[in-house]
Amino acid sequence: MAGNSGLKLREVNLELGKPTVDQAMKRLTMEVAHSRGMNCAVLKIIHGYGSSGTGGKIRTASRRYLSECKKKGEIRDVIPGESFSIFEEATRRAFARCDALRRDHDLDRYNNGVTFILL
């Protein structure tokens, strides 16, 4: 697995431009495909947590969509920002795929405004 540690981490802000939920979901779908094509190991999405009234809707829709993608085997895993911790097994597995995650500023911050997608 050490050979995978050089795979890239991308970050995309789905809230940029204050999109509707439909617009954000279209962008998420495109960004997952684009990241996969770039041979990225992890896509970090920023969707907000709902303080503006729209972030919560984007977060909920994104996580629902990603859960379905995981069930279908289209992505490896999903780590909600609030579970992105060295104490979580999924996070430690993600480190093995993408060493850059160890340096992400949201590690152990329990940020429910972000989600990590393992491709």
d(CA 69, CA 30): 13
Tokens of 94: 């993600």
pLDDT tens-digit profile of 38-87? 999 999 999 998 766 555 899 999 999 999 999 999 999 999 999 999 99
Res 31 pLDDT > 60: yes
pTM for the complete prediction? 0.91
51-87 in b/e form (b: 16+ CB < 10 A) is eeebbbbbbebbeebbeebeeeeebbbbbbbbbbbee
Question: What is the number of domains present in the chain?
Answer: 1
- Asked whether the beta carbons of 76 and 96 are under 8 A apart, the reply is no
Mean pLDDT of the chain: 91
Q: Domain of 71?
A: 2-118
Q: What is the CATH number of the domain that holds 17?
A: 3.30.1370.110
